[in-house]
């Protein structure tokens, strides 16, 4: 419902279908290992989270939870459609919906245990992964950075807290609030999905 504006055009579907076939080696379903073989992903610090996102039922818009072992083209396309840019002439309401949907995608990537909040541990994990290429220095500072970030969220969302009170974790609403400054709906998009003309599909030696 929320992603109606994010539907992809026919040509783009054809191109993505080709790519799907390529990755899954002409099978009907895609597995994690197929995605892991993409060479360019090797240097990406958050590749595991990205791959997980494809297999996360929460992103399939069918109100499911948990993860699956393999996905079909429909799910692949659904996940891809999160990265479509909003159309130009949409109402403020629709824009808000799109923003929520995209932020929900990001939230799901962080909230690995699906309890509805991003706890400090999960957030630390995120920052550590981001800095995972920096060795030991990264790991130590990651803790500090994650802590500082959590503090900031708590301060912004909840305000003054007595020492006995306890901040469980970042809920989705808080997440929306702190990322208000980033215009997610325009930043989180792939240009490829925007072009109406057919774009070549790179052949990867797998």
**125-154 residues near another protein, rule: CB under 8 A:** 126-127, 130-131, 133-141, 143-145, 147-154
Query: What per-residue string of b and e applies to 58-83 under the rule 16 or more CB within 10 Å gives b?
Result: bbbbeeeeebbeebebebbbbbbbbb
Least distance to another protein, CB of residue 131, Å = 6
Tokens of 70: 């393999």
The closest of 76, 81, 68, 62 to 27, measured between CA atoms, is 76
Stretch that binds another protein, among 2-10, 58-66, 93-101, 155-163 (CB under 8 A): 155-163
CA–CA dist 13, 190 (Å, integer): 14
Least distance to another protein, CB of residue 151, Å = 6
- Binding of another protein at residue 156 (CB under 8 A)? yes
Would you give the binding string for another protein spanning residues 186-205, x where CB under 8 A is met? xxxxxxx-x----x-xx-x-
Tokens of 154: 């708590």
Q: Of the candidates 8, 13, 38, 176, which one interacts with another protein according to CB under 8 A? A: 38
Tokens of 67: 């993860």
Kindly give, in sequence order, each residue whose CB lies less than 8 Å from that of residue 32, ignoring residues fewer than 6 positions away.
Answer: 51, 55, 69
Would you give the binding string for another protein spanning residues 73-112, x where CB under 8 A is met? -------x--x-x--x-----------------x--x---
């Amino acid at each position: 419902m929320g992603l109606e504006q994010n539907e992809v055009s026919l040509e783009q579907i054809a191109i993505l279908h080709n790519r799907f076939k390529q990755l899954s080696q002409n099978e009907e379903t895609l597995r994690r290992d197929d995605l892991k073989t993409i060479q360019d992903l090797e240097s990406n610090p958050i590749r595991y989270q990205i791959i997980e996102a494809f297999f996360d039922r929460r992103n399939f818009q069918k109100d499911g939870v948990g993860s699956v072992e393999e996905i079909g083209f429909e799910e692949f396309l659904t996940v891809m459609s999160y990265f479509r840019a909003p159309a130009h002439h949409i109402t403020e309401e629709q824009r808000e919906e799109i923003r929520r949907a995209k932020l929900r995608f990001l939230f799901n990537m962080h909230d690995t245990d699906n309890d509805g909040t991003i706890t400090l541990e999960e957030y630390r994990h995120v920052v550590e992964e981001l800095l995972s290429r920096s060795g030991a220095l990264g790991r130590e500072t990651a803790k500090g950075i994650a802590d500082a970030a959590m503090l900031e969220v708590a301060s912004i969302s909840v305000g003054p807290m007595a020492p006995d009170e306890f901040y469980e974790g970042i809920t989705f609403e808080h997440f929306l609030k702190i990322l208000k400054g980033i215009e997610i709906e325009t930043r989180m998009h792939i240009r490829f999905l925007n072009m109406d003309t057919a774009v070549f599909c790179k052949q990867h030696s797998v």
